Structure 1
């Protein structure tokens, strides 16, 4: 509640720059997820704006920040739809390149009746975001309060963005998704807030995360490896945050989940928006959790992300 009040009273919204992916989500729903080699009849299909970068940008914008998006789409219908959708949220898209010889990224998502999902990502134009694009956007980064990255664009571009944010004195956030191996040794020192889920935390720390207690240990390990602060999201079990020298478990809010697709992105975007507006890390976590709890009660990625006034009403 403190975070919500703080955000609504901010005279000038803080600035968040999101560097990351823009995908069109092709979402099929079925009774269950198919087994390998199995053809399974689904119950519905929809095309929905997504991509972790786009989702986090929309979340930050809806939850109180001025947002600039850096990324790439193809010169196709999906790309135009994605950019127009971001602009409708008052997100600055001058840093979104239109790549003539690449298709817009897509994510093929299957959601079962228990709201679990399986996702296949085809990066398309997202793979064309390079270090030169990040270097060319330095004035945008210099004007930001918070810089947010994920791992759905090439690693060199992500590292360049984190390094630029660090050099310019900005708060840097990395949501390390998707991750397939431990990050290079010089990455974690560039990150103010590392926000993995339990699977990603286990991959990065080498510690299995099956409980909040395990998450505390993994967070401390990631701190030892160089991350300044670590927030491990645990789905319905909430999250564990290691902020400065304090570690705490924030239980989840009981809700009836419909679709968990963008819950982590909603948390990250909301957390970034709150920090940009001057909230304490604790208040930013509370805002992010409240927004994520609402998002899982709705279908789709960006359509599920709430606006700040919805949290104020809830409070």
Structure 2
């Protein structure tokens, strides 16, 4: 089958620095680059590099960034017929500060992403019937995310939501439309309203989300791996050890890995292995899309007994 990603596409403007600035502090950085990004586009690149037929639906502005971003997707053979070029505004950008340890802070300016509306849903509808899975994030208007999830649900397409950046609250009517939700620890804390400081609280958070109507909950725990829960089973998924350089895009790689594996017909546990490997490998290189691994690299790690890279 194939996967459709409905979401954001940005130009990432990345500054590397010995440490992240505190409020009011000026820090001299080491390096600056611009790279294609946006959570939606990152996830599209992840699934495409993992060998899946991938459609992307979203918006870019009528500027040089927009042309460059589309060219990047098309180079990877991602179908961009569902992308609208919004001549009335600029393309989305993300201002990213990355410190030596790999930790980062990000400011996203939505640009064209913020204008996504019902007309984009019309373009999405034409593609959904060709796909097995719809992958969503929250860097586009929440109303559009909800409309997309509803359309996919009616067509029997699996809906996967990466609730990032997490709002203080998602509408309760959205949860039953979601088959798989994949918050990280901080995002899960926002969604359930209490801290996840230990295993019991993590399990409790997953059960809260299940009771809201989600079929599968996957909580990303960084270098501690992940936790998943359904109404029948729950367990922790161990991380693989890597030398982290840059954590930008790791969550997108994790989601792309899961989506690609499910589109191949693999079971949930196998899909979680894919997600864990792809997410970890993404942290070993600079940037987001440029750091995402291809299928051969993931296959070689799946076939080995190594738990570190």
Output the CA distance in 1 between the equivalents of 2:78 and 2:176. Answer: 29
Aligned to 2:222: 235
Matched, 1:168 2:155: yes
Q: Is the 8 A contact 1:173 1:193 kept in 2?
A: yes
TM-score by length of 2: 0.96
Output the CA distance in 1 between the equivalents of 2:264 and 2:118. Answer: 28
Aligned to 1:55: 42
Matched, 1:197 2:184: yes
Output the CA distance in 2 between the equivalents of 1:212 and 1:64. Answer: 35
Aligned to 2:173: 186
Matching residue within 232, 235, 238 for 1:248: 235
Equivalenced residues, count? 302
Matching residue within 59, 72, 76 for 1:85: 72
Aligned to 2:284: 297
Structure 2 segments unaligned to the other structure (5+ residues): 304-309
Mapping of 1:13-28 within 5 angstroms?
14-28=1-15
More divergent stretch after superposition (276-285 vs 16-25): 276-285
Output the CA distance in 1 between the equivalents of 2:242 and 2:199. Answer: 19
Q: Is the 8 A contact 2:124 2:148 kept in 1?
A: no
Q: Is the 8 A contact 1:212 1:249 kept in 2?
A: no
CA distance change for structure 1 residues 303 and 224 in 2, over 3 Å: closer, same or farther?
A: same
Output the CA distance in 1 between the equivalents of 2:2 and 2:48. Answer: 9
Aligned to 2:295: 308
Structure 1 segments unaligned to the other structure (5+ residues): 1-13
**TM-aligned CA deviation for residue 136 of structure 1:** 3.3
Could you give the per-residue CA deviations for residues 74-105 of structure 1, whole angstroms, max 9, x where no partner exists? 11111111111001111000011101011000
Aligned to 2:100: 113
Matching residue within 196, 201, 204 for 1:214: 201
Output the CA distance in 2 between the equivalents of 1:159 and 1:114. Answer: 36
**TM-aligned CA deviation for residue 162 of structure 1:** 0.5
SS of equivalent to 1:138: helix
C-alpha RMSD of matched pairs (Å): 1.0
Mapping of 1:243-282 within 5 angstroms?
243-282=230-269
Q: Is the 8 A contact 1:33 1:117 kept in 2?
A: yes
TM-score by length of 1: 0.94
Aligned to 1:10: none
